[in-house]
Structure 1
């Protein structure tokens, strides 16, 4: 596995586990020769994180910041070789981390992680607004889309220059909409539907959508419509009859 370009300066690497994607949004080359980047949701196993770090060195990329799209354990991982850089999540997602830290820690420890990875797990700070802080002006332009579908304080990342929407755990070809939060167990179908509509204007502008699990697509509208139909069926008390259910 390796990072593959889905658009100029936007690279995606796919884990062996649950088709989980990690996204690298790369900024312009600096005088040092190394290009700064925002690393989103690096996953999953320790050897994959190590391989990711090796590839960053080979590509002459320096991680300048990290972003977790939401507070599920597979989106809160980090490796020491990525660097001691700011790591961000929405304010509500960081609240979930604080209030459910024991549950999250138990899950990640059950996977037999290296101690260095465990020490950096879920070390995210709260975002103050809809931008990833970039005091040195070295990261690609971006906008954050915050909603409560799939998980409280879920974030999607819009990269307007590349016209890429990093959707987190939504708009997937392998994973159906999951309205029940795996941490709290709360189900909010209406909130999930509202989250889809928050994403809709960005989907309309996107050339590529990258889901947190699954395959990046240039047919984002088709993914959005499939998720709308799925949630609408649940709201109406019907079986969604979606092929993604059979694949899980």
Structure 2
């Protein structure tokens, strides 16, 4: 499935693997194409290569990417989109660097299990090469080319996890939270700790944005126009231990 619009200037593509979403946020037009931010591109090497082709077909040019957290399926990048900034929160960037060997091992296991492609070596090389965007409340707009994107950081699901709030379109990109495809996962695969309190605090941090959102995009699952139902469901599941 290719990119589909979910709001003005926001397109989502869903992987065949665990319904993982890739989000393209469009900005202003330039001579080289419409500026764009690519969030959490995933998953298989052939799908990542297709993302680069689809972006070109849309007349867009990816100037920057963002990884919502330091799990290997959210640190991927499409071959062919070299030269873009690749941002993450400071904690995620540090973790991706420190845990690179483990993340690569997980990605290699994926390739062996599901079948690689000619793109696999390049995908592995690009894995996790993110850097901190700084300590600002918003991502750099690269000279006004990208729309306003606010970073909502918390430690639910993973240390330094971030959602992205797009105020112009009222879209919340939730990362691995608020999914209809997977329950709340307070056990972090990086640290090995289960931290329900941090997950609950993460939901609290997201609540005012969920309340304002017209559209919510989870990292896995389906896009919804009823974000508060997702939040209420996650709170209930978390409290019940499901």
Would you say same fold, with TM above 0.5? Answer: yes
Question: Is the Cα contact below 8 Å between 1:103 and 1:183 reproduced in 2?
Answer: no
Q: Distance in 2 between matches of 1:33 and 1:67?
A: 21
Q: CA RMSD in A?
A: 1.1
Number of residue equivalences: 234
Question: Is the Cα contact below 8 Å between 1:63 and 1:83 reproduced in 2?
Answer: no
- The aligned counterpart of 2:123 is 117
Question: Is the Cα contact below 8 Å between 2:141 and 2:148 reproduced in 1?
Answer: no
1:233 CA displacement: 2.0
Q: Distance in 1 between matches of 2:237 and 2:230?
A: 11
Question: Is the Cα contact below 8 Å between 2:184 and 2:234 reproduced in 1?
Answer: yes
Q: Distance in 2 between matches of 1:74 and 1:84?
A: 21
- The aligned counterpart of 1:162 is 169
Structure 2 stretches lacking a partner, 5+ long: none
Question: Is the Cα contact below 8 Å between 2:163 and 2:175 reproduced in 1?
Answer: yes
Q: Distance in 2 between matches of 1:87 and 1:39?
A: 9
- The aligned counterpart of 2:88 is 89
1:111 CA displacement: 2.6
Q: Distance in 2 between matches of 1:217 and 1:35?
A: 26
Q: How does 1:11-50 map to 2 (within 5 A)?
A: 11-30=11-30, 32=31, 34-50=33-49
Question: Is the Cα contact below 8 Å between 2:141 and 2:147 reproduced in 1?
Answer: no
- TM-score after normalising by structure 2: 0.94
Q: Distance in 2 between matches of 1:11 and 1:95?
A: 29
- The aligned counterpart of 2:196 is 189
Question: Is the Cα contact below 8 Å between 1:206 and 1:220 reproduced in 2?
Answer: yes
1:99 CA displacement: 2.5
- The aligned counterpart of 1:231 is 238
Structure 1 stretches lacking a partner, 5+ long: 235-239, 241-248
- TM-score after normalising by structure 1: 0.92
1:182 CA displacement: 1.4
Cα distance per residue 1:143-196 (max 9 Å; x no partner): 000000000000000000000000000111111000001122111000000000
- The aligned counterpart of 2:72 is 73
